[in-house]
């Protein structure tokens, strides 16, 4: 019976140490992308001096250049977004529910800088002409 108890304690200790090792190996991502998403044109006739795009809220997916889904994020009602990403090159694709023309075919390629948060606004076509 004492051997069984010692063996169970040993197993629990090994599992505990493995969990601690996994937790310590998690890489903390400190870089990412932030900005505002815009859609435009919002009026069929463009007038000089008049803004013809607007921020919008939608769901977006982030893929690496090998088309592997990395994460997703949403912009808020004023179009603002922030997503933490490791440095590198990515493709951002709006969800089909986004209020733009052919949302899933409007791919934006972006690069996240190796230090800090990269600021970049993204523009998408509404199809209004």
Per residue in 109-125, pLDDT (tens digit) is 999 999 999 999 999 99
- Listed in sequence order, the residues at least 6 apart from 60 whose beta carbon sits closer than 8 Å to its beta carbon are 37, 72, 73, 74, 75, 81, 92, 93, 94, 95, 98
pTM of the model: 0.77
Percent of the chain with pLDDT over 70: 80
Choice between 84 and 28, residue whose per-residue pLDDT is larger: 84
The full set of domains in the chain, from first to last, is 32-125 (2.60.40.10)
Q: What is the mean pLDDT of residues 32-48?
A: 93
Could you read off the pLDDT of 42-87 as tens digits, one per residue?
Answer: 998 888 888 999 999 999 999 999 999 999 999 999 999 999 999 9
């Amino acid at each position: 019976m004492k051997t069984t108890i010692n063996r169970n304690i040993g197993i629990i200790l090994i599992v505990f140490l493995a969990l601690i090792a996994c937790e310590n190996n998690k890489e903390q991502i400190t870089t990412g992308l932030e900005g505002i998403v815009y859609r435009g044109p919002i009026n069929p006739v463009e007038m000089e001096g008049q803004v013809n795009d607007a921020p919008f809220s939608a769901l977006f997916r982030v893929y690496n250049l090998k088309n592997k889904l990395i994460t997703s994020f949403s912009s808020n009602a004023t179009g603002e977004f922030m997503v933490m990403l490791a440095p590198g090159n990515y493709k951002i694709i709006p969800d089909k529910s986004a209020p733009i023309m052919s949302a899933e075919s409007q791919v934006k390629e972006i690069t996240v800088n190796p230090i800090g948060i990269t600021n970049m606004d993204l523009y998408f076509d509404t199809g209004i002409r």
